[in-house]
Amino acid sequence: MRILGLDYGAKTVGVAVCDPTGLIAQGVETITRREENKLRATLRRIEELIAVWQIETVVLGYPKNMDGTVGERAKRTEAFAQQLERRTGIPVILWDERLTTMAADEILMESGVPLSERKRVIDKVAAGIILQDYLDNSSVRVEEGVSVWKTEE
């Protein structure tokens, strides 16, 4: 069972996917758009990735405020999640993403990635962190080649 991880931003969407065992997330790409509300091409690209990777679930970073409240950015993410779920028919799980972009920047900086390159890949890395956090906090049971997911709460 493959899961797609997304880091939804105003003009970019970082994309990650997990391996077939559901253990390891890796960044795939960053989808860019010129205007925040122009989502057709973004949704179309996500649909293509869902088909290519045979995705069954989407984990979407949920940017709550540091105090846990839901602000404007989180509300836009909720609306994007609803659009994505309606369009693809695939369940979308909102996953707390607080500080993932900062963590991604730190990883890239420590890896010696130049600032100009970091800006290009940071959303993809953040999507990988979001998805990996989801995978690490979920349990998977593989029975006869079929993965069954249960989120721990």
For range 87-93, the mean pLDDT: 96
Distance, in Å, from the CA atom of 56 to the CA atom of 65, rounded to the nearest integer, reads: 28
> Structural domain tally of the chain?
1
pTM, two decimal places: 0.85
- Give the pLDDT confidence score for residue 37 in this predicted structure: 85
pLDDT band at 139 (very low <50, low <70, confident <90, very high): low
Q: Which residues contact 130 (CB under 8 A, 6 or more apart)?
A: 5, 6, 7, 16, 59, 61, 95, 97, 100
- Check whether 153 has a pLDDT greater than 50: no
What is the model's pLDDT at position 148?
A: 41
Q: By residue range, what is the domain housing residue 48? A: 2-151
CATH code, domain carrying 78:
3.30.420.140
